[in-house]
Amino acid sequence: MSLLWVAWSGGKDSALVLDRLRRQGMPPGGLLSTVVGTPPRVPFHGFSVRVLQAQARALGLRLSLVHFAHPPSDAEYADTLRRHLQRLRPSALAFGDIFLEDVRRFRQELFAPLGLRLLFPLWHVPSEQLAAEVLARGIRAIITGVDTRVLPLERLGQWYDEEFLRHLPDEVDPCGERGEFHTCVVAMPGFQLRLFAGRPFRWSGPWYCCTVRFGHATAHRYLPERHS
């Protein structure tokens, strides 16, 4: 099994990272996800562990979860994640960060004691270019989280597509890199899920999410790999 893992939020950016790595002949061996609360959900994306598990099964990859009962402090997050990775023993970890220097620096400082190789396949690629690549690669995602200071609640449940991008305010990054919105991937090369947006709920402060429900008793179906 590959010792390269992807930091997996279940959203479009981590899906694009996985897709790029596979096309470059670097297939990851697993997905690493952080979840918070009871029941556990992906922070700010809002969807449940069941969705992460369905994505991982459909991709044929191992899923490793780091669970926090409550939103952790930076120190608690760092300590728990380091101990988790010491048990997991990957050699490299790939992230979907695009341009936030402080986030990248935090990751580098966090993982330096472990000697991990950190990969940033999307780093400094223009957001407009990445958004177009997401759509061109057949990565289908729904909006499951919004910051209501910059986007209306009505955006929850919409598709991440040309229409969504066309109506974004100028100050909102097309990839939501500053946390303006978050997504849940329902299809990409290799899998398709029957998932639908459910009821909205408040995550924290101005951030709202919507539940994600399965549209059929069969959570996923396999599609032929298309890496060309």
CATH number for 179: 3.40.50.620
List the one residue out of 162, 164, 163 whose CA is nearest residue 143: 164
Q: For residue 227, is it within any domain?
A: no
Domain contains 207: yes
pLDDT in tens, 71-124: 999 999 999 999 999 999 999 999 999 999 999 999 999 999 999 999 999 999
pLDDT at 217: 35
- The DSSP string of 146-176 is EETTTS-GGGTT-BSSHHHHHTS-TTS-TT-
Model confidence at 4: pLDDT above 80: yes
Is residue 98 a contact partner of residue 178, using CB atoms and an 8 Å limit?
no
Euclidean distance between CA atoms 93 and 116, whole angstroms:
7
Does some domain include residue 83? Answer: yes
Q: Is the pLDDT of residue 164 over 90?
A: yes
Q: Is 198 helix (H, G, I), strand (E, B) or coil?
A: strand
Residue 174 lies in a domain: yes
- Average pLDDT value for the chain: 92
* Cis? peptide before 39, omega within 30° of 0: yes
Residue type, 66: V
Domain contains 226: no
Can you give the pLDDT at residue 79? 95
- Quote the crossing angle between the two packed helices 101-111 and 74-88, to the nearest 10°: 50
Q: Which domain holds residue 36?
A: 4-122+130-215
Find the helix or strand (DSSP H, E) in which 186 lies: strand 181-188
Residue 70: the pLDDT is 94
The predicted pLDDT at position 190 comes to 85
User: Does the residue 186 lie in any domain?
Assistant: yes
* 76 in any annotated domain: yes
pLDDT recorded at residue 145: 98
Cβ burial of 33 (10 Å; 0-12, 13-18, 19+) is buried
Question: What's the length of the chain?
Answer: 228
As a three-state string, the secondary structure of 51-111 is HHHHHHHHHCCEEEEEEECCCCCHHHHHHHHHHHHHHHCCCEEECCCCCCHHHHHHHHHHH
Quickly state the pLDDT bin for 215 (edges 50, 70, 90). confident
User: What total of structural domains would you count in the chain?
Assistant: 1
147 close to 206: Cβ distance less than 8 angstroms: yes
Q: Dump pLDDT digits (tens) for 38-72.
A: 999 999 999 999 999 999 999 999 999 999 999 99
Residue 203, pLDDT > 60, answer yes
Residue 9 lies in a domain: yes
